[in-house]
Structure 1
């Protein structure tokens, strides 16, 4: 008996990748599928059946554009707009409930007349709001992935990402450091630049309003110049963070925060301008929803999330490439 025959005796193997264990069966043909074939558990059909049914996501890094992404996502949105909008509404409701927790904490602190307790409860409430809102946002992205893969919008999936609370918190902490540290550096450079101009040395002990305005003008001018100079580098560094939530959602086993950041950086390489285009479209959608007396805000939010999910699917490697070479 060969090693391969011995390995197969342990359980069913994938029909397309015989050296991999099966994690499910295709809902159409019944063949065994591995995790790669099921797109990390997001598809109930094998790649062959998806191709025959036209359920594979049609865009990838070599053929996608903002216009093509819009066409694909708009078609998917038209098919499931009601459930997607309801999912967006539920996520807004969850955020509102979390905000209520913050207000309750502040109320308790005020009732016992304790500023320290108010600060602690408000901080805990804000953290809970941030986590719950973020995890439901991941769930909405999960629903969007299902729709873009040709499935239905299952709102039960809105709460399918709650087990990722620890990776989400650690990633949130890393993002905070990445965002705050450059801002501190810019502020420090601005302060040193203001000192270098000698603007502060001209202030008297009791400065007049004109002196204060002159110094303030110098400070704002220096900070504005620094902001303009730093915009492009900061933009280049921070834009891959736009893909953090989709990557964390799509990964069945959440990677470490540093690995997550590395993957997003790799996905954004050479695609930043197109990502800006998608970001601008989502902003325009949200503004349009607000202008329409907020009635269109909920479907606009759903469509915006669908665009983000579609952009991620277009940028990520294809399944077989992502899985790497087959063993043996």
Structure 2
């Protein structure tokens, strides 16, 4: 195994540490989600070299392909060779009836990894999303006319309110080919997921198109996404301040606030915050609600003085006062 250069190790260390805040304790444990692909295996090797004796890894067996158990064992053997503790996690919940198999797998994978990281005492969980992943996500969302939050694409650092885990993506400034070269240099085995070449998936088509367009630089697209994420964060901070000043008294399981004089862009953030708040205080999952989801039809209804439902939350308007509460159960026919 050829050792990594000091430059590569320092680069990864810098990319990880720039995502930290002063609140993170020094020398904390770092959890990695390692699938066995070349990108995550490269992350494993880089992290182990940059932060020796601080790294732990886990692999999730989705049970969707017969090879998945063997891939988890492949990662376990590689971890053993470089001195990183490894845990194999298996999804026990059957897929839902929605038909979105990838969405189900992603949700269950992150649930398992976050619970494992918390139990292991790691405040951060790293995934191996890289520059091409970021560019593909940006272009896919742009093609769907998404808004600012969606165009911010893959966040380098994301954390839910009151969550003990911070999700980190330290490889967003690394190219796919660089990571593959790192895995090969370290002689770390890896597998290529056949679904990455399946043309039935939107991401695969965008990946092929991006590969055929060398004039589109994934790193520059990634920088654009970073800039939009920073703007999105600033607007969210402003909206959170407004939330405190505009909130009105109401039932403890509901939300009411006054939007008088506010621009639509700020209202958009307040609407998302209202939905999130109702879901949280009522312990609802909102049908896997994504905070970056399109809320334009809901905004249109509220600005017209009407009501609408999204993520099982009923929103209604009375003048400039908007009211959010759990939607009543649907009547059976």
Q: Please state which band the TM-score falls in when normalised by the shorter chain.
A: under 0.3
Q: Please, what TM-score do these two structures have when normalized by structure 2?
A: 0.22
Q: Comparing both chains, which one has the higher relative contact order based on Cα–Cα distances under 8 Å and sequence gaps of 6 or more?
A: 1
Q: Please, what TM-score do these two structures have when normalized by structure 1?
A: 0.22
Looking at secondary structure, tell me which structure has more strand per residue: 2
